[in-house]
Chains A and B, each alone.
Chain A
Amino acid sequence: MKRSLLLVSLLLSTGPATARGESPRIGSFELGAGPYRPSIDAQAGLAEPLPYQDVFGKDRQYMFRAGISRAIFTFPGALEVGFRTGYFRNSGHGYQKDGNGNLTNIRSAETTTFNIVPTSLTLTYRFDLLADRVGIPFAPYGRVALERYNWWITGSSGAMGKKGATNGYSATAGLAFLLDFLDSGLARELDLDTGINHTYLFADVTKSWVKDFGSSTSWDLSDTKRVSFALGILFVF
Chain B
Amino acid sequence: MRRALLAAAIAVPLIALAITASDGQVLDTTNFSSTHGNISFVNADQCSGKDSLHLEWRITALQGSAFGVNDQVKIFASDLNPADSNNNGFCDEKEATTPKTVHAGPIGTPLQPATTLLADRDVPHAGADIKGATTIDCATAEGTNVFICAHWYDSAGTTKKGLAVGTFQIQTARPDAPVAPLEVNAGDGKLFVSWTAPAGGAAVDHYVAEAYAPGQSPANPAPDNVPASTATVTATSAEIRGLANGTPYDVYVRAFSVGGNASDLRLGPVKGTPAAAANFFDVYKDRGGSEAGGCGSGSAGVLALLGAASLLALRRRRP
Which A residues are in CB contact (< 8 Å) with B277?
A: 94-97, 108, 110, 112, 155-156
Determine the distance from Cα of A83 to Cα of B296 in the docked complex, in whole angstroms. Answer: 21
B84 near A: Cβ within 8 Å? no
Contact A109 B304 (CB under 8 A): no
Q: Name the interface residues of B275-296: CB closer than 8 Å to any CB of A.
A: 275-284, 286-296
Contact B300 A167 (CB under 8 A): yes
Cβ-closest chain B residue relative to A161 = B279
Q: Which of B188, B275, B296, B312 contacts A217 (CB 8 A)?
A: B296
Determine the distance from Cα of A129 to Cα of B305 in the docked complex, in whole angstroms. Answer: 30
Which B residues are in CB contact (< 8 Å) with A199?
A: none
Which A residues are in CB contact (< 8 Å) with B275?
A: 96-98, 104, 106, 108
Determine the distance from Cα of A165 to Cα of B298 in the docked complex, in whole angstroms. Answer: 7
Q: Name the interface residues of A52-103: CB closer than 8 Å to any CB of B.
A: 52, 54-56, 70, 72, 81, 83, 92, 94-99, 101, 103
A228 near B: Cβ within 8 Å? no
Which B residues are in CB contact (< 8 Å) with A166?
A: 296
Most buried by A among B246, B283, B290, B315: B283
A40 near B: Cβ within 8 Å? yes
Which B residues are in CB contact (< 8 Å) with A51?
A: 280, 283-284, 286-287, 289
Indicate the size class of the contact surface on chain A: 35 or more
Contact B288 A47 (CB under 8 A): yes
A229 vs chain B, min Cβ distance (A): 25
B185 near A: Cβ within 8 Å? yes
Q: Name the interface residues of A121-154: CB closer than 8 Å to any CB of B.
A: 121, 146, 148, 153-154
A20 near B: Cβ within 8 Å? no
Contact B279 A153 (CB under 8 A): yes
Determine the distance from Cα of A95 to Cα of B246 in the docked complex, in whole angstroms. Answer: 15
**Which of A10-18, A180-188, A190-198, A208-216 lies at the interface?**
A208-216
Evaluate whether A94 and B301 lie within 8 angstroms (CB atoms) in the complex, with A108-B186, A164-B293 already known.
no
Total residues of chain B contacting the partner, CB 8 A: 40
Q: Name the interface residues of A150-183: CB closer than 8 Å to any CB of B.
A: 153-157, 161-167
Once A and B bind, how many residue pairs between them come within 8 Å at the CB atom? 160
Contact B298 A167 (CB under 8 A): yes
A186 vs chain B, min Cβ distance (A): 32
B308 near A: Cβ within 8 Å? yes
A117 vs chain B, min Cβ distance (A): 13
Contact B295 A103 (CB under 8 A): no
Contact A164 B304 (CB under 8 A): no
Q: Which of B185, B278, B305, B311 contacts A94 (CB 8 A)?
A: B278
Cβ-closest chain B residue relative to A217 = B292
Digit string of A29-51 for contact with B (CB within 8 Å is 1, else 0)? 00000000000100101111111
Q: Which of A54, A164, A215 contacts B283 (CB 8 A)?
A: A54
Evaluate whether A108 and B312 lie within 8 angstroms (CB atoms) in the complex, with A40-B284, A146-B304, A163-B293 already known.
no
B51 vs chain A, min Cβ distance (A): 35
Evaluate whether A153 and B288 lie within 8 angstroms (CB atoms) in the complex, with A96-B276, A108-B187, A215-B297 already known.
no
A52 vs chain B, min Cβ distance (A): 8
Most buried by A among B275, B277, B289, B308: B277
Which B residues are in CB contact (< 8 Å) with A235?
A: none
Determine the distance from Cα of A221 to Cα of B218 in the docked complex, in whole angstroms. Answer: 52
Contact A161 B281 (CB under 8 A): yes
Which B residues are in CB contact (< 8 Å) with A112?
A: 277-280
Q: Which of A49, A92, A110 contacts B187 (CB 8 A)?
A: A110
Q: Which of B187, B279, B304, B308 contacts A154 (CB 8 A)?
A: B279
Q: Which of A70, A92, A109 contacts B186 (CB 8 A)?
A: A109
Evaluate whether A95 and B297 lie within 8 angstroms (CB atoms) in the complex, with A51-B287, A156-B187, A156-B188 already known.
no
Cβ-closest chain B residue relative to A148 = B301
Residues on B close to A: CB < 8 A?
185-190, 192, 246, 275-284, 286-298, 300-301, 304-305, 307-308, 311-312, 315
Give 27 pairs: A residue, B residue, CB < 8 Å, sorted on A: A46-B287, A47-B286, A47-B288, A51-B280, A54-B283, A81-B311, A81-B315, A94-B277, A94-B280, A96-B276, A97-B276, A101-B276, A103-B278, A103-B286, A109-B192, A113-B280, A121-B307, A153-B279, A153-B281, A161-B282, A163-B293, A165-B301, A166-B296, A213-B297, A217-B290, A219-B284, A219-B291
**Which 9 pairs show the lowest CB-CB distances between chains A and B?**
A155-B279, A109-B185, A156-B188, A110-B277, A161-B279, A108-B277, A96-B275, A219-B291, A212-B296
List 8 additional contacts besides A99-B246, A108-B278, A121-B305; criterion CB under 8 Å.
A40-B291, A108-B187, A110-B187, A114-B280, A164-B292, A217-B290, A218-B290, A219-B290
